[in-house]
Structure 1
């Protein structure tokens, strides 16, 4: 009779799983991937135009995770470290395959949104509209609104200037507002101006 080899780690102990991954334990790597798959996929989808692209970014990100686990400082939250790899990988992906250009898009003006309108649209529906934004707009919008980066931090990550990033963010809000009005005209019977909250620097 053959017996399954007992794992060298405790599946419910993230530190134990990570340590086993550092020792190239394939079973631990599968556990880590499965444990953070949903969280990671949701981030990749925000920065990708399609589900297929999100999967590519996700797989590439986890390759980097396993290669760089020796750099992870266990005194800090693992999710935060993982998130930075996911976002940076998504940015690198679009620079490589879609020429993420932070300088060629038009400037924009701030556009107000109303909470009662956004509240009537599901998260999946909003995500689908965000995915339709041009890569530069989508990246800046997701980093600022969803992941909480300041415009200054985004400028540093994308190697751009803060004024350009602010312009792209405002334009992304305009584009998203237009997309919402087009997709859900019944939500604007009197065509009011409508908010997506964003972080101040």
Structure 2
């Protein structure tokens, strides 16, 4: 979907600046799906994603004056949602251990299997990863952060970020290979 009609979006943003509840509601409804798709990648289930989504929109409404209108609102909203998910992660899962290895092996995931999955199926597999693997995988692979940025945001070393990415890829590869075997077993019966 292209960026929401710029005149209508500007009107909604102006209304949000004035704390107009109707403008906030319309902005929320318009970007709910986009924001939820981001939150789902960082959470283990839909309920947690909704909590992060609502916290994220609260930040949007309280910090709307910091949005630079010369930039894409959707990009700014995406960053707010990612940062909110990371804040949630830091609050809820402080005890999760980021494993560090000097030489984290690179594991590749079969792209042909991934290309056959729907977005929902792929998100489902990502949600099955441990929180640390899920966060690093989403930040690096989907949102394009560098390991240095991930390390800084999560308070871990670059090596830990690389290791968690490698392990996340390995877990996904295992899940996808099981899926492939399960599908093969169903077809051959």
SS at match of 1:184: helix
Q: Is the contact between residue 102 and residue 160 of structure 1 (CA under 8 Å) also seen in structure 2?
A: no
Kindly report the root-mean-square deviation, in angstroms, between the aligned alpha carbons of the 2 structures: 2.1
Shift of 1:186: 5.0
Distance 1:100 1:77 in 2: 36
Which residue pairs with 2:54 in the alignment?
59
Q: Is the contact between residue 45 and residue 51 of structure 1 (CA under 8 Å) also seen in structure 2?
A: yes
The reply on whether 1:93 has 2:88 as its aligned counterpart is yes
* Number of residue pairs aligned between Structure 1 and Structure 2: 179
Which residue pairs with 2:135 in the alignment?
139
Shift of 1:106: 5.8
Unaligned runs of 5+ in 2: none
Would the alpha carbon gap of residues 106 and 155 (structure 1) be closer, same or farther in structure 2, given more than 3 Å must change? closer
Distance 1:142 1:132 in 2: 13
Would the alpha carbon gap of residues 120 and 11 (structure 1) be closer, same or farther in structure 2, given more than 3 Å must change? closer
Distance 1:187 1:166 in 2: 31
Distance 1:121 1:153 in 2: 29
Which residue pairs with 2:42 in the alignment?
47
Relative to the length of structure 1, the TM-score reads 0.81
Q: Is the contact between residue 154 and residue 165 of structure 1 (CA under 8 Å) also seen in structure 2?
A: yes
Would the alpha carbon gap of residues 75 and 102 (structure 1) be closer, same or farther in structure 2, given more than 3 Å must change? farther
Tell me which moved more, 62-71 or 159-168.
159-168
Which residue pairs with 1:130 in the alignment?
126
Q: Is the contact between residue 16 and residue 61 of structure 2 (CA under 8 Å) also seen in structure 1?
A: yes
Shift of 1:79: 1.2
Shift of 1:156: 2.1
- Give the counterpart of 2:22 among 3, 27, 31: 27
Distance 2:95 2:74 in 1: 26
Unaligned runs of 5+ in 1: 1-9, 190-201
Of Structure 1 and Structure 2, the greater helix share is in 2
Tell me which moved more, 106-115 or 174-183.
106-115
